[in-house]
């Protein structure tokens, strides 16, 4: 299919239908065309601008080619991750927040990989904490049943995508694949908490998520104190652009730390550390409710506001302030720390 539509894409910049995009992704995964054609195709799409039907078709194809966790959610089950590729580097916020939120009843099927924009990705940190990141579908199904959490390591569940990894790295620029990671979690998601590297993409990705069957979701991009695009998380150093999805209805708005009952903080307090060991210690400090320094407090609050959003998407709280209060309680009473122990236990079970 890529070779059939390539000339029109280059010469006329024609958009693909969802069906054409699905077939083109099949070609890339099945290696039915050479690397040079794939690289040129990805760049041509980038120059033209990927459309909602194209991203939807690519995502459906990748999802259909992967392994699947056959777990039926009790309520709303969400993935909680970002695209990476942002400019302001933080500690691994979504990992800390997802542990807290899942201890409060949010079912989280976290699809992740090693680092994209930070020095340590979610997989790196969870592995260092003792989680078996290479757990297969049956282990993750059991983990979701017992502790509301499963970590689905992308190379295990989407092995065919290794065919395009070398091409992506050689291009050294954003392609549609940067958007697809959070869209192709191989489980029965009906909800999503997604951070994105470019705030201008929020509206389109919201519509893609609706196409993919998400009933509730938040898609976010956080700004810095000067209003510049900064992070694929809810920001605690400035405002956040967010799309709320509720059963097909999409609402775009801006929120601030004060909407969560928190204060805006100095950006230096939440910057990414240099080593994996420091990343891991930050997660441990958050779950231990450490607040001795301004950095401790800022990191904890950043995790709490992102956990709050996950609890809200999962319909466990009525609003974001209530989500922060529940998240605080889960950290203070030790539930979140115990949740990490459960995640470690169930991810390492032999079934």
What DSSP string describes 224-245?
Answer: -TTS-EEESS--SSS-EEEEEE
Q: From CA 28, how far away is CA 2, in angstroms rounded?
A: 8
Q: From CA 191, how far away is CA 212, in angstroms rounded?
A: 10
For 109, the enclosing helix (H) or strand (E) is: strand 107-112
**Residue that is last in its domain, among 44, 65, 86:** 65
What 3-state class would DSSP assign to 111? strand
Looking at the structure, tell me whether residues 260 and 139 fall in a common domain. Answer: yes
Q: Is residue 74 classed exposed, middle or buried when 0-12, 13-18 and 19+ CB atoms within 10 A define those classes?
A: exposed
pLDDT at site 234: 98
Nearest to residue 193, comparing CAs of 243, 236, 152?
Answer: 243
Domain-embedded: residue 297: yes
pLDDT at site 209: 98
pLDDT at site 165: 80
Looking at the structure, tell me whether residues 61 and 87 fall in a common domain. Answer: no
Q: And the tokens for 265?
A: 């903080």
Domain-embedded: residue 72: no
Domain-embedded: residue 144: yes
Domain extent at residue 29: 2-65
Domain-embedded: residue 70: no
CB count within 10 Å of CB 150 equals 28
Domain-embedded: residue 71: no
> Tokens 């949740």 identify what position?
339
Looking at the structure, tell me whether residues 163 and 306 fall in a common domain. Answer: yes
Is pTM beyond 0.85 here?
yes
Looking at the structure, tell me whether residues 262 and 328 fall in a common domain. Answer: yes
Looking at the structure, tell me whether residues 275 and 207 fall in a common domain. Answer: yes
Looking at the structure, tell me whether residues 141 and 238 fall in a common domain. Answer: yes
CA atoms within a 13 Å half-sphere pointing along the CA-CB vector of 99: 28
Q: From CA 90, how far away is CA 94, in angstroms rounded?
A: 10
Nearest to residue 81, comparing CAs of 118, 120, 122?
Answer: 122
Domain-embedded: residue 143: yes
Q: And the tokens for 338?
A: 């115990």
Looking at the structure, tell me whether residues 179 and 300 fall in a common domain. Answer: yes
Looking at the structure, tell me whether residues 116 and 53 fall in a common domain. Answer: no
pLDDT at site 166: 83
Looking at the structure, tell me whether residues 53 and 109 fall in a common domain. Answer: no
**Residue that is last in its domain, among 65, 86, 117:** 65
Looking at the structure, tell me whether residues 58 and 173 fall in a common domain. Answer: no
pLDDT at site 87: 85
Domain-embedded: residue 188: yes
CATH number (domain holding residue 323): 3.40.1030.10
Q: Which residues are CB-contacts of 293 (< 8 A; sequence separation ≥ 6)?
A: none
pLDDT at site 68: 96
Q: From CA 131, how far away is CA 262, in angstroms rounded?
A: 31
Looking at the structure, tell me whether residues 29 and 159 fall in a common domain. Answer: no
Number of domains making up the chain: 2
Looking at the structure, tell me whether residues 83 and 162 fall in a common domain. Answer: yes
| pLDDT tens series, the chain, 351 aa | 888 888 778 877 889 999 999 999 999 998 888 899 999 999 999 999 999 999 999 999 999 999 999 999 999 999 999 888 778 999 999 999 999 999 999 999 999 988 754 568 889 999 999 999 999 999 999 999 999 999 999 999 998 777 788 888 888 888 999 899 899 999 999 999 999 999 999 999 999 999 999 999 999 999 999 999 999 999 999 999 999 999 999 999 999 999 999 999 999 999 999 999 999 999 999 999 999 999 999 999 999 999 999 999 999 999 999 999 999 999 999 999 999 999 999 999 998
Whether 153 and 137 have beta carbons less than 8 Å apart is answered as no
Q: Classify residue 68 as left (phi > 0), alpha (psi -120 to 50) or beta.
A: beta
Domain-embedded: residue 169: yes
């Amino acid at each position: 299919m890529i070779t059939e539509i390539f000339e029109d894409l280059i010469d006329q910049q024609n958009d693909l239908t969802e069906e054409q995009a699905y077939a083109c992704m099949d070609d890339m995964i099945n290696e039915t065309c050479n690397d040079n054609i794939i690289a040129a195709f990805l760049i041509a799409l980038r120059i033209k601008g990927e459309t909602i039907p194209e991203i939807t078709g690519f995502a459906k194809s990748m999802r259909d080619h992967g392994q699947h966790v056959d777990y039926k959610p009790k309520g709303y089950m969400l993935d909680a991750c970002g695209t990476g590729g942002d400019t302001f580097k933080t500690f691994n916020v979504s990992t800390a927040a997802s542990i807290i939120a899942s201890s409060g009843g949010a079912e989280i099927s976290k699809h992740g990989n090693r680092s994209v924009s930070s020095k340590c990705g979610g997989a790196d940190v969870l592995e260092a904490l003792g989680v078996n990141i290479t757990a297969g579908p049956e282990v993750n199904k059991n983990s979701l049943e017992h502790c509301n959490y499963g970590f689905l390591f992308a190379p295990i569940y989407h092995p065919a995508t290794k065919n395009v990894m070398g091409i992506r790295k050689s291009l050294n620029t954003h392609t549609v694949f940067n958007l697809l990671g959070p869209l192709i979690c191989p489980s029965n998601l009906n909800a999503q908490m997604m951070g994105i590297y470019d705030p201008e993409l929020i509206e389109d990705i919201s519509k893609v998520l609706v196409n993919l069957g998400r009933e509730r979701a938040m898609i976010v991009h956080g700004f810095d104190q000067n209003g510049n695009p900064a992070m694929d998380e809810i920001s605690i150093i400035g405002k956040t652009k967010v799309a709320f999805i509720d059963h097909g209805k999409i609402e775009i708005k801006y929120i601030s730390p004060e909407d969560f009952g928190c204060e805006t903080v100095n950006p230096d307090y939440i910057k990414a550390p240099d080593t994996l060991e420091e990343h891991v210690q930050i997660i441990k400090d958050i779950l231990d409710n450490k607040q001795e320094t301004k950095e401790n407090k800022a990191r904890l609050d950043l995790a709490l506001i992102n956990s709050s959003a996950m609890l809200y998407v999962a319909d466990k709280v009525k609003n974001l302030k209530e989500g922060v209060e529940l998240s605080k309680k889960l950290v203070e009473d030790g539930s979140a720390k115990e949740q990490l122990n459960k995640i470690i236990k169930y991810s390492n079970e032999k079934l």
